[in-house]
Amino acid sequence: MTEQALTRITVAGSAGTEPYDVLVGRQLLGELPFLLGDRAQRVAVLHPEALAETGEALRADLAEQGYEAIAVQVPNAEEAKTAEVAAYCWKALGQTGFTRTDAIVGVGGGATTDLAGFVAASWLRGVRWVAVPTTVLGMVDAAVGGKTGINTAEGKNLVGAFHPPAGVLCDLAALESLGTHDYVGGLAEVIKAGFIADPAILELIEKDPAAARTPAGPHTAELIERAIRVKADVVSEDLRESGRREILNYGHTLAHAIEKNERYTWRHGAAVAVGMVFAAELGRIAGRLDDATADRHRALLRSVGLPVSYRGDQWPKLLDTMKVDKKSRGDRLRFIVLEGLARPAVLESPDPAMLLAAHAEIAA
Ligand SMILES: NC(=O)c1ccc[n+]([C@@H]2O[C@H](COP(=O)([O-])OP(=O)(O)OC[C@H]3O[C@@H](n4cnc5c(N)ncnc54)[C@H](O)[C@@H]3O)[C@@H](O)[C@H]2O)c1
Ligand SMILES: O=C(O)C(=O)C[C@@H](O)[C@H](O)[C@H](O)COP(=O)(O)O
Ligand SMILES: [Zn+2]
């Protein structure tokens, strides 16, 4: 029998939190009891509707191992990131008698792990949790780094907590059931990691964009691992986003406004793709970024099938929403831009005319 390759990427403890590992490979669920800790008696498996079978199989497996295990099904995608769904989960924990030594497992895409982490952060002011991401985006970004949260009517991720998981299990086999649209959406965050920190990612995708669109591509594991390393490196240094972590928000100021404007019918990754083109244009217009690197954004994102434009008649609404972005300080809008490949920087209070000009470049 050939041994399955297993990659272990450690996220260092920061701001008083424990270090933890992100495992990338196949058939990793054997690691779960170790990650749940030796004091957990009850385990809640939070999963989306789309993964009802996976959630139930995981629950049954944990029950066989002696845990009092419950499966808590939540809506698919962004519909799960609401106060109502969080309250539904708290009720399930309360009715099962969850104590501070019990644990939560979030299995699903980024929306599910954001919710599961938030429920873990808020229940009894914080219980242990393990992330089992099942989308590219979840593996390379959402499940790593301890940003957990839900949306409110006013915007994306406005309520949440920094609450790192005890471990992250990325089983590459899970990606085989993911639709192309969702698979490709995750590539936006992979490409983001390439532009802000690891240009080798961009070269791997440029070599064969069609192959990058499927889990069977020759570089799938390498792309995922490289993007995880970028994220792990940044959050190891700055868990609470008091500085360097802001670079992970590249493209997100506009992206979150588009998601809200579309009532979350756009996937996060698609919005981030448009947001990165906007940020690249803003960098170019501000005299910070060279033409070739700015143009490379559009070419690369387009080559894998991600959107690079958005309807042009929504600018006033988008601008209004961007004002509540977490990087804003008072009335000052702040954007992450590039000053070259892998050279992210903050652009403070850009002139409204610059914003409008960058918007014109993405307006459909
Ligand atoms: N916390 C963070 O640091 C962070 C980072 C990036 C993104 N996010 C958040 O992640 C979310 C986006 O995550 P996403 O792109 O994974 O989307 P998602 O969680 O909305 O999942 C997309 C769809 O795929 C389904 N699905 C998940 N895994 C599947 C599988 N293996 N097979 C078939 N269907 C599957 C889901 O149920 C959902 O319907 C956004 O809410 C975004 O804000 C958070
Ligand atoms: O981990 C981070 O920090 C990021 O900014 C990663 C982003 O990809 C992610 O979408 C995150 O949820 C955005 O956070 P927010 O603080 O802007 O809501
Ligand atoms: Zn993101």
Give the residue extent of every domain in the chain: 7-177, 180-238+247-362
Handedness of CA 90, 94, 100, 106 (dihedral sign): negative
How high is the pLDDT of residue 280? 98
How far is residue 97 from each of residues 1, 90, 102, 137, 163, measured CA to CA in Å? 43, 10, 9, 33, 22
What pLDDT does 15 receive? 81
Taking phi over 0 as left and psi of -120 to 50 as alpha, with beta for the rest, 125 belongs to left
Residue 95: CB atoms within 10 A of its CB come to 9
Can you give the pLDDT at residue 2?
Answer: 46
As a whole number of angstroms, the distance between CA 324 and CA 85 comes to 23
Give the three-state DSSP class for 299.
Answer: helix
Reported ipTM exceeds the 0.85 cut: yes
Q: Which residues contact 214 (CB under 8 A, 6 or more apart)?
A: 180, 183, 220
> pLDDT value at position 158?
95
Asked: is 180-238+247-362 a CATH 1.10.10.60 domain? The reply is: no
Q: Give the integer Cα–Cα distance in Å for 274 and 361.
A: 10
**Test site for ligand 2: of 137, 240, 248, 335, most ligand atoms within 8 A of the Cβ:** 248
Strands 167-171 and 128-133: parallel
Ligand nearest to the CA of 75: 1
Q: How far is the CA of 38 from the centre of ligand 3 (A)?
A: 33
For a substitution probing ligand 1, which of 26, 182, 228, 247 has the most ligand atoms within 8 Å of its CB? 182
In one letter, which amino acid is 110?
A: G
List beta partners, residue 149.
160
Rounded CA gap, 10 and 20, in Å? 6
CB atoms under 10 Å from CB of 210, counted, come to: 10
Rounded Cα distance, 258 and 275, in Å: 9
Distance 264 CA to ligand 3 centre (A): 14
* 112 in a labelled binding site: yes
**Probe target for ligand 2 pocket from 168, 231, 252, 326, with the most ligand atoms within 8 Å of CB:** 252
Coil vs helix vs strand at 324: coil
Ligand 2 neighbour 78 (Cβ under 6 A): no
Distance between Cα 61 and ligand 2 center (Å)? 32
**Of the options 3.40.50.1970, 3.40.47.10, 3.30.420.40, 1.10.20.60, the CATH number for the domain spanning 7-177:** 3.40.50.1970
| CB of residue 269 inside a 6 A radius of ligand 1 | yes
Predicted TM-score of the model (pTM):
0.98
CA 156 to ligand 2: nearest atom: 18
Residues in the chain, pLDDT under 50: 1-2
* Amino acid of residue 259: E
